[in-house]
Amino acid sequence: MEKGCIHLAVVLLLLQQMSTCSSIVNITTDQTALLALQSQISLYNPHSVLARDWSTSTPVCSWIGVTCSLRHQRITALNLSSMNLKGMVPPQLGNLSFLISLDIRNNNFHGSLPEELAHLRRLKMINAMNNNFTGAIPSFFSLLPNLHSLYLSFNQLSGNIPPSIFNITKLKNLRLRGNFLTGEIPQEISSLCCLNSIDLQDNKLTGSIPPTMFNQSSLRQIGLTNNILYGKLPGNVCDNLPNLEHLRLSRNRFDGLIPPNLQNCSKLQILSLSVNDFAGTIPAEIGNLTMLTSLQLGLTYLKGEIPRELGYLQRLEVFGLYQNRLSGSIPASLFNISTLQILTIVDCQLSGTGCKLRGIIPEEIGNLTNVLSISLFANDLTGFIPKTVRGLQKLQRILIQSNMISGTIPDEICYLQNLGDLIVGRNKISGPLPSCLGNVTTLRNLYLASNKLNSSLPETLWNLQELLELDAASNSFSDVLSPQIGNLKNVIDIDLSYNDFSGMIPTTMGSLQKLITLSLSDNRIDGPHSRVFWENVKLGILGFEL
Ligand SMILES: *[C@@H]1O[C@H](CO)[C@@H](O)[C@H](O)[C@H]1NC(C)=O
Ligand SMILES: *[C@@H]1O[C@H](CO)[C@@H](O)[C@H](O)[C@H]1NC(C)=O
Ligand SMILES: *[C@@H]1O[C@H](CO)[C@@H](O)[C@H](O)[C@H]1NC(C)=O
Ligand SMILES: *[C@@H]1O[C@H](CO)[C@@H](O)[C@H](O)[C@H]1NC(C)=O
Ligand SMILES: *[C@@H]1O[C@H](CO)[C@@H](O)[C@H](O)[C@H]1NC(C)=O
Ligand SMILES: *[C@@H]1O[C@H](CO)[C@@H](O)[C@H](O)[C@H]1NC(C)=O
Ligand SMILES: *[C@@H]1O[C@H](CO)[C@@H](O)[C@H](O)[C@H]1NC(C)=O
Ligand SMILES: *[C@@H]1O[C@H](CO)[C@@H](O)[C@H](O)[C@H]1NC(C)=O
Ligand SMILES: *[C@@H]1O[C@H](CO)[C@@H](O)[C@H](O)[C@H]1NC(C)=O
Ligand SMILES: *[C@@H]1O[C@H](CO)[C@@H](O)[C@H](O)[C@H]1NC(C)=O
Ligand SMILES: *[C@@H]1O[C@H](CO)[C@@H](O)[C@H](O)[C@H]1NC(C)=O
Ligand SMILES: *[C@@H]1O[C@H](CO)[C@@H](O)[C@H](O)[C@H]1NC(C)=O
């Protein structure tokens, strides 16, 4: 007891708030503080977890969310995360003078954190993420000499980042993501000795990155995505960041070149530079960052070719390259990265500068045994869909429309038991559809339009109970429409226009209750004479073209 009192006296002296240690501070003080919190919360919800569990008839150290030190019999940790609590944090919490860790994340606390928390000299961690705190970031945090982690992400905080926050010299983790912070990142960040992660994503920060940040060699994670930051990355950006693992700069206004020197951040796992004004070429040196799991370079002004060396990134899971000004061919080496889950190389689709990428889909694609999504649309790919696609057992979507791919759709597609989207329209694909296509029971969107497909639609197609969209327009399919088309219970959109279908519209089509658009124009089809059919065609809802 005596020790606690002396300690408190020192604290109070420092703060010059009180001059004497008049009252004995003990677990009863802690209990009083928690009861103040409880009554705050009861204003909004009299039946909260705390209202039920925090009872003076049981010892405070046994209350839910409370951890005490055995030696001092004082509260050292308060963990009220995800308890659906609403209310303000009362000033009495500043009396929990032995508190080391305060975790109130994922609740609906509002107002501001009380200044009295500045008394908590032992506090090492505050996690108030995902609440509804408003106002400015309190500057009293700088009075907490032991604070190493401050998490205030996903609140409604506004104003500048107080420079004083950076004289908490032990600060290791600072997360302020998803607030309304404005102004610049303070230069004072250089006073931190041991900063590990800084997450300022999704704010409205402006200015450039303080150059000193690139000298903070302890940094592992930098998150600045979605702000209004600008400027160039220094040519020696990674000379003093040997530990950097995440560099997230997407959705800002950075410009200049992507420095080859990034290869010196040899532990880099996530590099996202998308949606900025970067120009120049993709440095081949990026291929040396062999720890990379995610590389995002979309919507910048990059030109030149995709370096073959990126194939060395044998841990890459996400590769996103879209709407740049690249030219040349897609290196086959990229299809050799067996860890890839998402492969997106979509160029110039909107910018329309005519710099599409060439190349083929190489046999190596079969090595992408973990891939979930392949998007290579709106390029100038030639060649055909290789039979090795059979190896893509996890594939959920393949988008290769608007290229110049020829050949047939190989039967091997039928082995893909997770495929939902097969989007191959606007190519030069010919021949019949695989008769086994109905084996791909997960298919939801089948876009085949504007190819040179022919023969009849395979009977197994009508087994596809999940199918939402069937677009086979502008091909050379012939045959009569099978009555089994009525089996496509979930289909929303059928477009078979500009083919050579003949005969009658099967009356079974009238049972397609979810159908919104049906286009059968430019075939040799007659309308059905069944009253049931026309009754089910909900005029005005069903956009019907014959
Ligand atoms: C705490 O101190 C008060 C005096 O300020 C005393 O009345 C109370 O019994 C003490 N409680 C414990 C648990 O020691
Ligand atoms: C608080 O409790 C949650 C849920 O049990 C846990 O995930 C979290 O790590 C705890 N916080 C601290 C600081 O220990
Ligand atoms: C606790 O904090 C409140 C408000 O900050 C204060 O009025 C009170 O005197 C403090 N001390 C004790 C022992 O509760
Ligand atoms: C958060 O606070 C704002 C204003 O203080 C209020 O309008 C909003 O409804 C609150 N959000 C939630 C989820 O309670
Ligand atoms: C913290 O920083 C502010 C301004 O940045 C300075 O005035 C103050 O003296 C510093 N406080 C401590 C405790 O270092
Ligand atoms: C970064 O550190 C280097 C070497 O330690 C030093 O020369 C340089 O001036 C520092 N840069 C900044 C912006 O602090
Ligand atoms: C950083 O990379 C450059 C090449 O881009 C190299 O010449 C230099 O030695 C590297 N510096 C360090 C500190 O590794
Ligand atoms: C890094 O990449 C460049 C260009 O691809 C290459 O010449 C160099 O040998 C690589 N350096 C290291 C250290 O791997
Ligand atoms: C793919 O990897 C294999 C085995 O490592 C190698 O022989 C082949 O050359 C690679 N293909 C490409 C296009 O890089
Ligand atoms: C990748 O695929 C090609 C062609 O299918 C094959 O020759 C090669 O050995 C594969 N490489 C790896 C690393 O699996
Ligand atoms: C379908 O197209 C293929 C390839 O163009 C051709 O060989 C075949 O004769 C055509 N079949 C029919 C029924 O037109
Ligand atoms: C398609 O399914 C049928 C019946 O289940 C089976 O006999 C056939 O081997 C399958 N074909 C392919 C290519 O998966």
Q: What's the per-residue H, E or C state across 327-342?
A: CCECCHHHHHCCCCCE
pTM: 0.88
d(Cα 210, Cα 334) in Å, to the nearest integer? 35
C-beta 5 within 6 A of ligand 9: no
Give residue 94's pLDDT band: very low, low, confident or very high (50, 70, 90).
Answer: very high
- Per-residue pLDDT tens digits for 490-502: 999 999 999 999 9
Q: Are 322 and 298 in contact (CB under 8 A)?
A: yes
Q: How many CB atoms lie within 10 A of CB 228?
A: 13
| 431 Cα: distance to centroid of ligand 11 (angstroms) | 5
Give residue 54's pLDDT band: very low, low, confident or very high (50, 70, 90).
Answer: very high
Q: Are 466 and 490 in contact (CB under 8 A)?
A: yes
Query: Does the structure show a pLDDT above 50 at 345?
Result: yes
What is the torsional sign of CA 89, 91, 92, 97?
positive
Give the list of residues 6+ apart from residue 531 with CB closer than 8 angstroms, or none. Answer: none
d(Cα 285, Cα 305) in Å, to the nearest integer? 13
C-beta 436 within 6 A of ligand 12: yes
Q: In terms of Cα–Cα distance, which of 220, 245, 221, 249 is closest to 233?
A: 249
Give the list of residues 6+ apart from residue 191 with CB closer than 8 angstroms, or none. Answer: 166, 167, 169
| 151 Cα: distance to centroid of ligand 2 (angstroms) | 13
Average pLDDT over residues 261-289: 97
Cα 385 to the center of its chain, rounded Å: 30
DSSP string for residues in 105-161:
-SSEEEE---GGGGG-TT--EEE--SSEEEEEPPGGGGG-TT--EEE--SSEEEEPP
d(Cα 299, Cα 163) in Å, to the nearest integer? 33
Average pLDDT over residues 341-346: 95
pLDDT at residue 3, rounded to an integer: 44
Q: What are phi and psi of 407, to 5 degrees?
A: 80, -170
Q: How many CB atoms lie within 10 A of CB 3?
A: 9
| 434 Cα: distance to centroid of ligand 12 (angstroms) | 11
C-beta 388 within 6 A of ligand 10: yes
d(Cα 137, Cα 247) in Å, to the nearest integer? 24
C-beta 333 within 6 A of ligand 9: yes
* Residue 171: C-alpha distances to residues 7, 144, 154, 408 (Å): 23, 10, 20, 60
Q: Report the residue among 28, 61, 72, 75 best suited for mutation to probe ligand 1: largest number of ligand atoms under 8 A from its CB.
A: 28
Query: Does the structure show a pLDDT above 50 at 13?
Result: no
d(Cα 545, Cα 10) in Å, to the nearest integer? 84
Give residue 20's pLDDT band: very low, low, confident or very high (50, 70, 90).
Answer: very low
Query: Does the structure show a pLDDT above 60 at 162?
Result: yes
CB crowding 96-119: b at 16 or more within 10 Å, else e: bbbbbbbbbbbbebbebbbebbbb
Give residue 122's pLDDT band: very low, low, confident or very high (50, 70, 90).
Answer: very high
Give residue 539's pLDDT band: very low, low, confident or very high (50, 70, 90).
Answer: very low
C-beta 336 within 6 A of ligand 9: yes
Give the list of residues 6+ apart from residue 149 with CB closer than 8 angstroms, or none. Answer: 124, 125, 126, 127, 171, 172, 173, 174
CB crowding 369-378: b at 16 or more within 10 Å, else e: ebbbbbbbbb
* Residue 311: C-alpha distances to residues 6, 79, 263 (Å): 63, 46, 15
Using CB atoms within 10 Å of the CB of residue 358, give its burial: 0 to 12 exposed, 13 to 18 middle, 19+ buried. Answer: middle
Give residue 531's pLDDT band: very low, low, confident or very high (50, 70, 90).
Answer: low
Give ligand 5 pocket residues (Cβ under 6 A): 142, 163-164, 167, 188
Q: Measured from the CA of 215, which atom of ligand 6 is nearest? A: 1
pLDDT at residue 226, rounded to an integer: 98
pLDDT at residue 324, rounded to an integer: 85
Average pLDDT over residues 433-440: 96
Average pLDDT over residues 191-212: 96
DSSP 145: T
Q: Report the residue among 214, 217, 237, 239 best suited for mutation to probe ligand 7: largest number of ligand atoms under 8 A from its CB.
A: 239
Q: Report the residue among 313, 315, 336 best suited for mutation to probe ligand 10: largest number of ligand atoms under 8 A from its CB.
A: 336
Query: How wide is the angle at C-alpha 315 spanned by C-alphas 327 and 195, nearest 5°?
Result: 100
| 80 Cα: distance to centroid of ligand 2 (angstroms) | 8
**Collapsing DSSP states into helix, strand and coil, what is residue 492?**
coil
Q: Work out whether strand 74-79 and strand 66-69 pair parallel, antiparallel, or are unpaired.
A: antiparallel
Q: Measured from the CA of 25, which atom of ligand 3 is nearest? A: 13
Question: In the structure encoding, which two tokens stand for residue 118, read together?
Answer: 């500045």
Query: Which of 437 and 531 is assigned the larger pLDDT?
Result: 437
Least distant ligand from the CA of 309 = 8
Give residue 545's pLDDT band: very low, low, confident or very high (50, 70, 90).
Answer: low
| 429 Cα: distance to centroid of ligand 11 (angstroms) | 11
Residue type at 284 in one-letter notation = A
State the SS3 of 189-250: HHHCCCCCEEECCCCCCEECCCHHHHHCCCCCEEECCCCEEEEECCCCCCCCCCCCCEEECC
pLDDT at residue 167, rounded to an integer: 86
Q: Measured from the CA of 143, which atom of ligand 5 is nearest? A: 13
* Residue owning the nearest CA to atom 13 of ligand 12: 414
- Per-residue pLDDT tens digits for 458-488: 999 999 999 999 999 999 999 999 999 999 9
Query: Does the structure show a pLDDT above 90 at 421?
Result: yes
d(Cα 232, Cα 236) in Å, to the nearest integer? 11
Least distant ligand from the CA of 431 = 11
* Residue owning the nearest CA to atom 8 of ligand 6: 215
Give the list of residues 6+ apart from residue 438 with CB closer than 8 angstroms, or none. Answer: 458, 459, 460, 461, 462, 463, 464
Q: Measured from the CA of 79, which atom of ligand 2 is nearest? A: 1
Q: Are 332 and 307 in contact (CB under 8 A)?
A: no
C-beta 442 within 6 A of ligand 11: no
pLDDT at residue 538, rounded to an integer: 46
Mean pLDDT of the chain: 91
Long-range contacts of 113-116 (CB under 8 A, 24+ apart): 113/89, 113/138, 114/89, 114/90, 115/91, 115/140, 116/91, 116/92
Average pLDDT over residues 103-116: 97
Least distant ligand from the CA of 364 = 10
| 439 Cα: distance to centroid of ligand 12 (angstroms) | 6
Residue type at 434 in one-letter notation = P
pLDDT at residue 17, rounded to an integer: 39
- Per-residue pLDDT tens digits for 365-418: 999 999 999 999 989 999 999 999 999 999 999 999 999 999 999 999 999 999
Question: In the structure encoding, which two tokens stand for residue 2, read together?
Answer: 């005596």
C-beta 45 within 6 A of ligand 11: no
C-beta 184 within 6 A of ligand 8: no
Least distant ligand from the CA of 214 = 6
| 320 Cα: distance to centroid of ligand 8 (angstroms) | 22
pLDDT at residue 505, rounded to an integer: 87
Query: How wide is the angle at C-alpha 260 spanned by C-alphas 249 and 269, nearest 5°?
Result: 50
| 430 Cα: distance to centroid of ligand 12 (angstroms) | 22
pLDDT at residue 509, rounded to an integer: 86
Average pLDDT over residues 159-176: 94
Give residue 534's pLDDT band: very low, low, confident or very high (50, 70, 90).
Answer: low
* Residue owning the nearest CA to atom 1 of ligand 5: 164
Q: Measured from the CA of 455, which atom of ligand 11 is nearest? A: 13
| 112 Cα: distance to centroid of ligand 11 (angstroms) | 72
Query: Does the structure show a pLDDT above 70 at 153?
Result: yes
Helices (H), 367-444: none
C-beta 469 within 6 A of ligand 8: no
Name which of 46-55, 343-352, 425-434 the model is least confident about: 343-352
| 132 Cα: distance to centroid of ligand 4 (angstroms) | 6
d(Cα 546, Cα 529) in Å, to the nearest integer? 14
- Per-residue pLDDT tens digits for 233-243: 999 999 999 99
